[in-house]
Amino acid sequence: MAFKEYGIHDAIGLADLVRKKQVSASELLDEAIARTARVDPEINAVVVKHYDDAKRQIDQGLADGPFTGVPFLLKDLENLAGTRTTFGASIYKDNFAAYSGTLAQRFLDAGLAIFGKTSSPEFGLMPTTESRLFGPTRNPWNLAHSSGGSSGGAAAAVAARILPVAHASDGGGSIRIPASASGVFGLKPTRARTPLGPDRGEGWGGFSCGHVVSISVRDSAAMLDAIHGPETSSPYVAPQPQRPFLEEVSRDPGRLRIAFTDKSPYGDAIDPEIAAATREIAALLAGLGHHVEERAPVLAADPAAVMSTIVAANTALTVRLAEQRFGRAMTSGDFEVLTLASAHNAQKASATDYVAAQLGAFQISRALATFFESCDVFLCPTLCSPPLRIGELNTMSEDLSHIAPILRRYMPATAMFNMSGQPAMSVPLAWNAAGLPLGMMFSARFGDEATLFRLAAQLEQTRPWKGKLPPVCA
């Protein structure tokens, strides 16, 4: 019999019911699987299903943690021993992980029952999730639109209430972009807050990190408590939190100094509904007692140029490792045209170009650190145009010149906080006239997730979003 109350609970609530023996982990898993069967044919979010593995996890005894018994999905960029991990790439369609990533193991240690993997664009390179291998992941609010990327499968699955929380990762906005596009909560932690091992000490030159997207703020905070902290191989560590992040959710944020802008950091015009929504939220914050003023940081370098060089170099290494593994040159039958083009661009660049990009990232980071000396939080739109339509970005096109202008218009503000390493979150506070979500992005000083969690909880209480459900919903 289905667990009818499943959809009204967040992950902490479900774990509490398991703890009180009001429902079993097996019943929760069965409900998550049933919900996947109902809505995934429409949204295409859960692309790898290993239900039997999750059932074995339960039968063998889940770890005693804060989320014991809660069903969970990994992004298809994270290894879980014995399960299919494709990275969204055709060449890896039959790849099975020989071991688990450190982060995946921490999710297991938290008591989660991992029953599958969510879709990602090939190697997480795009802000939309439309890999050639699996096809497009569609937005539960409007199936003609993208759910965002690169954690688009995770955000769509959570938005459609297949489950209340799912793994996500962010190297240039890939937690916040799909959180905004799909109408869920997504916080990118401080650099090095969560582990990337055992294969890597950092990703994309320190830009990447892993966490979750969720329905509730407290799930995000409690999950960060469960997974944060260095591992043996960590090249550097994030500042220690003063107290558990979950405790911050119940603390008063106080009177914060909040700067805001309704403009693109490039000075370009943005979607008028998004600009109006940003100003509305700024007024809401002032009404809550915060000091709000309109101003924005001036960037010392171009984030798009920095990101292009750093990501291209990492993509080139990905292609080289595949060539070594398979013993041949990679073609467009193996990788998408965009992936190969990015790798080719890296081969044309020099080591000096890479160091120059690193310097650009440092200059951006320095400018942001200076800006935050006079404010606690910065508010701007997560995305500067509504969620993209399916097919608007074509990674298999022989002419890729359409991509850069779309990225500049769509997501100009997210990557700068990957470069600075600062925490930033997308909060689902607005919807446009067409019914598509418009996330608001808040960022704080390096190491200060606490302020963001306090503010997010205040906004969640003032302008709740949990009851707002998309047309495609389990």
Q: Is 358 exposed, middle or buried (0-12, 13-18, 19+ CB in 10 A)?
A: middle
In whole angstroms, what is the distance from residue 366 CA to residue 230 CA?
24
Question: What is the chain's length?
Answer: 474
Distances (CA, A) of 383 to 179, 211, 328, 407, 430: 10, 20, 40, 10, 12
Residues catalogued as catalytic: 75, 150, 174
Report the distance separating Cα 273 and Cα 259, nearest Å: 20
d(CA 35, CA 30): 9
Is residue 154 within 8 A of residue 391, CB to CB? The reply is: no
- Contact criterion met (CB below 8 Å) for 155 and 181: yes
How many whole angstroms separate alpha carbon 397 and alpha carbon 136? 16
Query: Cα–Cα distance between 311 and 124 in angstroms, integer?
Result: 10
State the Cα–Cα distance between residues 81 and 111, nearest whole angstrom: 16
- Strand, helix or coil at 263? coil
Instruction: List Cα–Cα distances, 227 to 12, 19, 222, 437, in angstroms.
Output: 15, 20, 9, 28
Cβ atoms 217, 250 nearer than 8 A: no
> Nearest 10 degrees: CA dihedral of 363, 369, 371, 377?
130
